[in-house]
Structure 1
Amino acid sequence: MVLPFPIRPMSGPASGRKPGLSTALRPLLAALVGLALWSAAATAQDAYRIRAGDVLRIEVIEDEALGRSVLVSPDGRISVPLAGPIRASGLTLEEVQAALVAQLAPNFASGPTAFVSIERLAERPAPVPQRPVAPATDAIYVMGEVGRPGLIEVAPGTTVLQLFAQAGGFTRFAATRRIQLRRRDAAGAEQVYPLDYDAILDGRSPNGSAVLVEGDVIVVPERHLFE
């Protein structure tokens, strides 16, 4: 049987076609979605109000030695060499950054360039259980010139010397002879106990074996110029 019209070979579904508008726009749409997500994350961080227990990352372009991680102490402050204590709790990253630049400025010929970012958020307290449960760990604050400042969860019975190891040792700015252990007594008053790391290592002080308790704060200050 002869068909009344000629048969032409069929082309493939994509043969001779130009990409549709939706196909051409897919990369652009993906890029726009990524940009929107990044912008939302950046806006959330800029609007975040810093809290005690947060760990901030400090970078100073003009002096890399000042770059460090700093803990926001229970009183809401951070401490940076050459700048001293800076109030951080309740402020945004931009506000803390401006305060840091202002306090560093007298130490530089021209205004320093500093950046402050969130390295780690403080652990939020868990809901209070109906029955008191003894904590499996003790929360200890370590602040100042140590390798890893922050809130450290330690096993009950952890000693001062063991905590120094868990905190990553000391920075080159550390005044190791003027370390402080701050502890609240039963009446709620803060007691300050001096710790001399050099004397502990030499065996001249037994304080390295002192057992830490929940809520203790270890402060490793910055050393003086000729200390």
Structure 2
Amino acid sequence: MKTRATLVLGTLLAACASYPEPPVPAYDAPGFQAYSSATPNYRVYPEDELTINFPSAPELSRTVEVGPDGRIQLPLLPPMMVADKTIPQINEEISFAMSSRLVDPTVDSTVSMFGPQRIFVGGQVAQPGVIDMPGQIDALQAIIMAGGFTDTSNEHQVILVRRSPDGSVNSYSIDVRGGWTDPAATRLGPLQRFDVLYVPKSRIAQHNLFMQQFIRDALPVNFSFVYDLARTIQ
């Protein structure tokens, strides 16, 4: 009995030692773009509110809301598509459309009120889901709004997924924990509408999951029994 128990214990310990810890990608690993806080020109979205001024014809100036279809309605013009366009692009298109009606079709547009700006926060946070940004916030503030990190979070490699204006999808790795002591090193910038933040598991959490799935659950042996047995046979 003593020999068999010793053999079982030795086999289990050898099995644990033969499995290395699961690898964790290094910060800025291949596949992640270098993060930059630089933001492109804002693109208008439905429910945004635009103030459009015509200096040469103030009576035509007004504030309009971008409709669900992405269009606005201005005097003398048919509905115009403005969604997913920058303010300079909108000014240029309105000016061109009004050039046959005004001697000076100069137009000055601004976003007077932003519609809901939603981002998605998932992974190892307390309350994953959709978040309405109250204004310009960074990754750390978004995670706090999602209830904060869990005990299994990898706070040094938060993944940011962002769609570029050309339709391509870029992913970035952000060291949020490092930003607590050195904000410049973290390179946290303002999030943008429809950004996706994903907090992966920490290295120790991955290791614990590995142990749970491939060691404890896979072997028909109660670990507490083995340790008690080991103490008994000493």
TM-score range, shorter chain: 0.3 to 0.5
Choose between structure 1 and 2: higher strand proportion.
1
Q: TM-score, normalised by structure 2?
A: 0.39
Q: TM-score, normalised by structure 1?
A: 0.40
Higher relative contact order (CA 8 A, sep 6+): 2
